[in-house]
Chains A and B, each alone.
Chain A
Amino acid sequence: MSLNLKIALAGEGGQGVQSVAEIITEAAYQAGFQALYIPNFGVEQRGGVSVAFVQVSSEPVSAPKFTTGDIVVALSHRAVERVRQYVGEKTLLVYEAGLEDDVRQVYGERQRRLAVPALAIAQEEMHPRVFNVIILGVLVGVTGFLERRDVEQALERQFGHKFAQDPDLRELNYRALERGYEIGRENL
């Protein structure tokens, strides 16, 4: 399968965009793809919008950052505006459903988009801390290049020490991943 996928993710510090980027590239690497992940690590790290650049490809990845993403993820009010430069005509904009008004204002009606009610699902059905894992699931579902098993293994590598202390946390994360995955698949 020939693949060349560019994803930019942005959110507030603490929303977990860097973890999502790390897990998805780790899973891609383990599944035999070329992968490159670079965080925006300026002073923004300390209280600003956190941006992650992810590339997965069948060929070695060239430059670490890119001009236009295939998928751009915005998880906060400020992130919606911040990622504008990476959104092109064909870009799929994935965003937290609560940001609908912001997205409309910045991108109008025509942008390819996928609103994910991740905040509501996390708060009402699961736990606020798995917000980013729902987004991870959506990306896995919508891109379709990873098996869920690959992602679960990457989750284990990232959070295994926490799962060991609290096995319920594993179940919670897997459930969040599954829920996001279904949303992603429906919109594939």
Chain B
Amino acid sequence: MATRPVTGEQRAFMTGNEVVAWAALAAGADIMYGYPITPQNEIMHYWTRMASKYERGFLQTEDEIAAGFATVGGVLAGKRAFTATAGPGNVLMQEAMAMAEMMRLPTVVVVTQRGGPSTATVIYSQQELNLTCFGGNGEGLRIVYSPSSHDELFLYTIKAFNSAWKYRFPTFVLGDGYQSKMREPVTIFDPEARGITMEPCRPMVGLPGLPGEERDPAHLRNTYNLEDELYEVLMTAIKEYEAIAPQVVEWDTYAVDDAELLIIAHGVVSRAARAAVVSLRERGFKAGYFRPVTLRPFPAETLRTLAARARNLMVVESAYGQLKRQVQAGLYGLETPVTGYLRPGMGITPEEIVEFVHAKELI
């Protein structure tokens, strides 16, 4: 075995795509399957550059449908497998991810959102929230992390492998083109150095022993004949998902205790939202900030408590209401008005948010 890719903690100044490749290495990922698409490409590039040094694998498939299913196959073989994609590639991967959902396979997908729909732009958006949370023909039994900095991109890529293998739901790291391409300081680390133990992986196919005699047969299904049969399997999965949700759900807040205006954002946009709150506070306005770190499961309960105390809620996102709908669904029945600053495919700055707050007299 080659030496560990990261020892202890190391400071670096790098792009988000490099961060993801380092995180997957540090997490002990065995293999990446992938198909090129901007802005994800460099995750593959860095992974392939480094993987062979640490005896890890890589397979470039013919398209994203194959990359998704190859990841499913890698997981079935007991490998800590992952893929990365964006935009139309994320669309194509949904079939495989729905299979992972059906079969409770711990796949890990890093999504670097680009403008949509279709080919649109190669640059940036937050328009893949719906797709990543609920993209399959199922109930969205997935875990979706939305990091907002390179430090988090590193942490949650590692965490994605652990959550996937611990809870056995397909797990996603929902990044974006900005996070992929920007350089900022990051501390990368060996998970062990932070007391993080990687969940063990075990194969589901090719097990030793004679099935039926020396061991139970592996019965892996994504097809069911009867409605009741499917219903039973689904309800078991749904109940398990609901049971683990409180352990999985994560959020971040700032200055919420006396907040009259609560600004809600996720991912890279939450950096602008937080800065806007700091700036509003400096001028004496009682603003606070809430960020769902997990988009699935969504931290609705915590948000509800905070939202009930506020006079106004404002959702800021680089999409046209994908986060806002989750917020409103979570807050159903609450009468606090929700206003959206919705900029599909556009970056958002703190100055714009502050200006909008005043223009709409939200505070």
Contact = CB atoms under 8 A, between A and B. Distances in A.
Interface in B163-197: 177-178, 181-185
Contacts, number: 67
Contacts of A62: 271-272, 274-275, 350
Interface stretch (A31-39, A92-100, A163-171): A31-39
A119 to B, nearest CB: 28
A63 B347 contact: yes
B13 A66 contact: no
B181 A25 contact: no
A39 B38 CA distance: 14
Contact of A39 (B13, B181, B268, B349): B181
Contact of B184 (A22, A30, A36, A66): A36
B130 interface: no
A145 B221 CA distance: 62
A64 B178 contact: yes
A67 B184 CA distance: 19
Given A38-B181, A62-B274, A63-B347, A25 B13 contact: yes
Secondary structure of the B contact surface, majority rule = mixed
A63 B122 contact: no
A140 to B, nearest CB: 18
A36 B272 contact: no
A60 B186 CA distance: 11
Interface string B195-213: 0000000000000000000
A38 B180 CA distance: 9
- For chain A, which range describes its interface: under 10, 10 to 19, 20 to 34, or 35 or more residues? 20 to 34
A35 B181 contact: no
Contacts of B184: 34-37, 61
A26 interface: yes
Contacts of B178: 38, 64-65
Interface string A16-36: 000000100110011000111
Interface in A49-80: 60-68
A47 interface: no
22 contacts: A25-B13, A26-B13, A29-B185, A34-B184, A34-B185, A35-B184, A35-B185, A36-B184, A38-B182, A40-B123, A41-B38, A42-B121, A42-B123, A61-B271, A62-B272, A63-B347, A63-B350, A64-B182, A64-B268, A66-B351, A67-B351, A67-B352
- Return the 4 tightest CB-CB contacts between A and B, nearest first: A62-B275, A63-B272, A38-B182, A29-B13
Given A26-B13, A67-B349, 14 more contacts: A22-B183, A25-B13, A25-B183, A30-B13, A35-B185, A36-B184, A38-B183, A40-B123, A41-B123, A41-B177, A42-B122, A63-B348, A64-B347, A65-B347
Interface of B: 13, 38-39, 121-123, 149, 177-178, 181-185, 268-269, 271-272, 274-275, 347-352
Interface of A: 22, 25-26, 29-30, 34-43, 60-68
